Structures are given as structure tokens and as C-alpha cells.
């Protein structure tokens, strides 16, 4: 085999990955608004350079730009309010806390005029500690415990999103026994599944969430599980039926899927109104708005998505002759995802030589792939392992004029699948001790983090106006050991 020298475009790279003209340039859509390279060539957030962050807090570290979080939250609220003003007087935006939640975030969400979507008793506990008013909080989950339902009622939750008929009966009974009515939305599965650029519409649902809208999904011929639940909810003395909910997927770029789901739910809402005289004043269209993880991702601005969704709600309500329900949405990733990057320190480097992929090369030629190990990995970002998610990375502590080398950023776990960034061009002179930043790690990274191999989960710092504060401290070895009960 002949060893081929580094060329800029590696045949080992996936087709979508191009060699950046300048490896030092930050591709804007991937980064928080306050992130730039400073005059020394270091990445800085709201004026604070990464070397200072490393010195103060160590690595790995989640670095969140607070002003950017607030501005993304506000821009969803403003864009949807504007698009729906004439339809239903505005939109209630519930930040999906599962993407990243701590008390500081709850406070920002509240201050920016949003509400909070939770999915467990633990997330409700964070909401309670942050002191947000219960009527601005929603609770989800396909398997809520009685304790979680009771907690929701204790907190006076604005809505419990009920996932099944059995749960509806349980929520109703618990509320009735307290002499109350639970405020309930019913989660329906409209048969629309969206992923990034495409959506598919199917008649039947094969998933754990929600009540099917397809006919014949109950014991009674022709009756859908959704209709059965609406009738049961309206008749239950312990239930105040507010409306309907759907969530069609995550990391979606095109608005078509949202529009199809909205239309389907509106038609169903009108049918329930006509058949049973049941009025449902609210409709939640879920979250799922995509963000950029690599240079080829092209998310739509909130205003564009809002306009597409408003158009279909407006025309469908007009056609059906119904008053438009109050619309709500539940974005998580699109608010927090790009606010944060993970700061790592580079450790071991190695270069392997790999055969060119079949069909791309005639000769017996191998190409280099550089493995760049960092001091975290799948324990602070499980998304590449779980979903084959792609990320980007840049040298953060300095600039470099070295030639690009196809690199794979990997963690320090005892697993060969422990990949942080599968394919990225990094400068050839990246060395141990360098700082590396991986953008777009605000959503479902800290939230999905683990202690695999007894690694301590990193802290999260919020940077604002040149100063940083921990909003979640990193774990210590003591934290790791204190649940071990001993022999």
C-alpha cells in the first residue's frame, strides 16, 4: 500500500463535509451571538476568553451565552405572537425543559415571557425551586406516576398533557378526590412524523406516545382513541378539558409537517365541537424546530416557521367556520441548542491510515485520519452515539495556519463508539493541551449526560457581560462516591 500525503479534501470524509477556506473562521449559524475570536485569536464569549474559563472552571465545561438564550427565547415569542396576533391574539411559548433545565434557565424563561414544559416530577421540582407560577407550567409524560400527578395538582399546574385513556381516568380520579378539576390537554398522534427535511404521514401509529386519531383504534368500530378520550374527558367531573396537543418530532427544518399536523388537529377539534358540542379553547403544536450542528444544516428563522403555521391555522379555521383556539408551542432545542458550546482540552493524538472507501479509489492507497482525544466524551454528549448526530469542532485557544487534517474527535471512555465529532477538518498542528470547542451542545447534552466510567459530569457556566457564573456546578469525586453505601 502507498501512503498518500495529506491533501485537503480527504476521500474518507463524508460527502457533505467540505474543507473550510479558513479553519479559524467561526461559521455563524453554529454559535451563540456573543461568541467571537478576540484579537489574540482565542474564542471569547461575551468578551470572556476560553483560557480564562478554563482557568476558573476547568474542562470539560458547558459554556452558555446568557444573552443569546434570552434573545432566542424572546425571538420565538415575538415571532409567533406577531404571526398569530390576528388569529388568536398571540401564542403561549412553553420552553421544553427536557432539552436543558436548571433554576437559572427557568428564571430567564419567565423573564422573557415564556412558560415551561416539564416531563417528570424531577423537572417539576426544578420549576418549583425556581419559583415559577404553577399556572405557567405544563407536565408531559407517557407514564406519569400518581405522585407526579399529585405534585402537578399541588403546584396548580396550568396543564397536564394526558397521554392515554387510562391516564385520563387516573388524573380525573385524583383531582376529583381533592375536590378539584385538573386542567388537561390530550396528546394526539396525528400520523405525521417529521425528521429534518422530510415528513411522512401515515394512518396508524406505532409508538408509545399519544392517542391515535385513526378510526378503529378502540374496541368500538370506527371510533378513534382520540375521540374516545375527548368524550371521556368532557364527561369527567375531575377534568377541565382545555384542548389538544401534538408533537411530531425533533430537529425539523421544513414547516410543512407542522402545518399538516395543525390542520389535522383543527379538523378533529371542529368535528368534536359539531358532534358533541365540546369546545376546546387551546391547541398545542409541540416543539421540534431544528438548529445547525454543521455547516450544511439550514434551519429556518422562527418568523418563517410561524408564518407558515399561521397561514394554515388561519385558512383551516376559516374553512371550518370555527373560532381559532389559542395556539401554544414547545421549542426546546431551538432556544438552548446554539447558546452553548462544550470546551474540552485535547489529550492524546494519533493518526491511523485507512483504506479509501470502496468505489472512491482505484489504487491501493491509504489516507490519514487523525484521532483527537478530549477530556470528556459520550458521558457529556451522548447524541453522536445515540442518534449518529454530527457536530463540528474548532481550535478554541488560538488560531492556526496549519493545513486542515481530517480528524475525529473522540472521548476518553472505554468504548470505541465514544465519538464526539465523527468528521471534522482541524488544523494539523492541534496538540495536547490545546482547547477545543464543540458548538451546538446546549440541548440534550448536559440533559443526557452520565457518569459512565465514573467521570464527573461537567458544570454549566453562563457568561454575561464579560463575567461567568456557574449555573450548574460540575460534579466532584465526592459526588460520585456519596451514593456508594459501602460494603
User: Catalytic residue numbers?
Assistant: 414
User: Closest separation between CB of residue 69 and ligand LLP, Å?
Assistant: 14
CA distances from 75 to 301, 335, 408 (A): 9, 9, 35
| CB-nearer residue toward ligand LLP: 43 or 389 | 389
Does residue 59 bind ligand LLP (CB under 6 A)? no
| CB-nearer residue toward ligand LLP: 339 or 373 | 339
DSSP count for the chain of H helices, then E strands: 12, 24
Rounded CA gap, 324 and 255, in Å? 20
Q: Specify burial of residue 128 (Cβ count, 10 A radius: 0-12, 13-18, 19+).
A: middle
126-134, 219-227, 282-290, 414-422 -> range binding ligand LLP (CB under 6 A): 282-290
Cα angle: 28, vertex 460, 469; to 5 degrees: 95
CA-based nearest residue to 336, from 24, 114, 55, 131 = 114
CA-based nearest residue to 61, from 411, 340, 421 = 340
| CB-nearer residue toward ligand LLP: 117 or 418 | 117
Does residue 258 bind ligand LLP (CB under 6 A)? no
| CB-nearer residue toward ligand LLP: 369 or 383 | 383
User: Closest separation between CB of residue 265 and ligand LLP, Å?
Assistant: 14
Does residue 193 bind ligand LLP (CB under 6 A)? no
| CB-nearer residue toward ligand LLP: 314 or 422 | 422
Among 17, 23, 83, 96, binds ligand LLP (CB under 6 A): 96
Q: Are 342 and 441 within 8 A, CB to CB?
A: yes
Q: How far apart are the first and last CA of the chain?
A: 55
Does residue 118 bind ligand LLP (CB under 6 A)? no
7-15, 31-39, 82-90, 243-251 -> range binding ligand LLP (CB under 6 A): 243-251
User: Closest separation between CB of residue 288 and ligand LLP, Å?
Assistant: 4
Does residue 250 bind ligand LLP (CB under 6 A)? yes
Does residue 331 bind ligand LLP (CB under 6 A)? yes
Among 151, 193, 247, 264, binds ligand LLP (CB under 6 A): 247
Q: DSSP string spanning 402-435?
A: SPEEEEEEE-SSS-TT-EEEEEEEEETT--TT-E
Does residue 286 bind ligand LLP (CB under 6 A)? yes
Could you give the maximum distance between any two Cα atoms of the chain, in Å?
Answer: 80
Contacts of 283 (CB under 8 A, 6+ apart): 243, 244, 245, 262, 265, 266, 269, 325, 326, 327, 328
Does residue 440 bind ligand LLP (CB under 6 A)? no
- Which residues contribute to the site for ligand LLP (CB under 6 A)? 96, 98-99, 117, 140, 247, 250-251, 286-289, 330-334, 383, 387, 443-444
Amino acid at each position: 500500500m502507498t501512503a498518500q500525503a495529506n491533501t485537503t479534501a480527504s476521500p474518507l470524509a463524508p460527502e457533505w463535509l467540505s474543507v473550510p477556506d479558513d479553519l479559524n473562521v467561526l461559521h455563524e449559524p453554529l454559535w451563540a451571538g456573543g461568541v467571537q475570536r478576540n484579537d489574540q485569536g482565542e474564542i471569547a464569549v461575551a468578551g470572556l476568553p476560553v483560557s480564562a474559563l478554563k482557568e476558573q472552571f476547568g474542562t470539560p465545561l458547558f459554556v452558555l451565552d446568557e444573552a443569546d438564550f434570552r434573545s432566542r427565547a424572546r425571538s420565538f415569542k415575538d415571532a409567533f405572537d406577531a404571526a398569530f396576533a390576528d388569529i388568536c391574539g398571540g401564542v403561549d411559548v412553553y420552553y421544553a425543559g427536557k432539552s436543558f433545565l436548571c433554576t437559572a434557565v427557568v428564571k430567564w424563561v419567565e423573564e422573557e415571557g415564556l412558560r415551561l414544559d416539564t416531563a417528570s416530577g424531577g423537572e417539576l421540582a426544578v420549576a418549583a425551586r425556581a419559583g415559577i407560577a404553577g399556572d405557567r407550567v405544563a407536565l408531559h409524560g407517557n407514564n406519569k406516576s400518581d405522585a407526579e400527578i399529585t405534585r402537578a395538582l399541588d403546584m396548580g399546574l396550568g396543564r397536564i398533557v394526558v397521554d392515554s385513556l387510562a391516564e385520563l381516568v387516573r388524573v380525573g380520579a385524583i383531582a376529583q378526590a381533592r375536590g378539584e378539576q385538573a386542567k388537561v390537554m390530550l396528546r394526539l398522534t396525528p400520523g405525521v412524523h417529521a425528521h429534518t427535511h422530510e415528513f411522512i404521514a401515515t394512518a396508524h401509529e406505532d409508538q408509545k406516545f399519544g392517542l391515535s386519531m385513526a378510526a378503529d383504534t378502540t374496541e368500538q368500530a370506527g371510533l378513534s382513541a382520540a375521540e374516545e378520550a375527548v368524550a371521556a374527558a368532557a364527561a369527567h367531573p375531575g377534568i377541565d378539558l382545555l384542548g389538544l396537543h401534538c408533537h411530531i418530532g425533533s430537529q425539523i427544518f421544513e414547516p410543512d409537517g407542522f402545518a399538516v399536523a395543525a390542520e389535522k388537529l383543527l379538523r378533529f377539534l371542529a368535528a368534536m365541537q359539531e358532534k358533541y358540542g365540546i369546545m376546546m379553547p387551546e391547541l398545542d403544536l409541540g416543539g421540534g424546530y431544528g438548529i445547525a450542528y454543521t455547516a450544511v444544516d439550514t434551519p429556518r428563522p422562527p418568523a418563517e416557521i410561524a408564518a407558515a403555521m399561521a397561514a394554515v391555522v388561519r385558512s383551516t379555521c376559516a374553512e371550518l367556520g370555527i373560532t381559532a383556539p389559542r395556539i401554544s408551542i414547545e421549542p426546546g432545542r431551538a432556544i438552548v441548542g446554539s447558546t452553548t458550546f462544550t470546551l474540552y482540552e485535547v489529550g492524546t493524538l494519533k493518526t491511523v491510515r485507512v483504506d479509501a472507501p470502496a468505489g472512491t479509489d482505484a489504487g491501493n492507497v491509504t489516507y490519514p485520519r487523525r484521532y483527537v482525544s478530549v477530556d470528556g466524551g459520550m458521558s457529556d454528549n451522548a447524541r453522536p452515539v445515540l442518534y449518529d448526530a454530527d457536530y463540528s469542532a474548532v481550535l478554541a485557544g488560538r488560531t492556526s495556519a496549519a493545513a486542515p487534517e481530517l480528524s475525529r474527535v473522540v472521548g476518553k471512555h472505554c468504548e470505541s463508539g465514544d465519538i464526539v465529532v465523527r468528521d471534522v477538518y482541524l488544523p494539523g498542528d492541534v496538540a495536547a493541551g490545546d482547547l477545543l470547542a464543540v458548538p451546538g451542545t446546549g440541548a440534550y447534552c448536559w440533559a443526557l449526560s452520565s457518569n459512565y466510567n465514573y467521570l464527573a459530569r461537567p458544570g454549566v457556566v453562563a457568561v454575561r457581560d464579560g463575567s461567568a457564573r456557574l449555573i450548574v456546578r460540575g460534579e466532584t469525586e465526592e459526588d460520585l462516591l456519596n451514593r456508594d453505601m459501602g460494603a
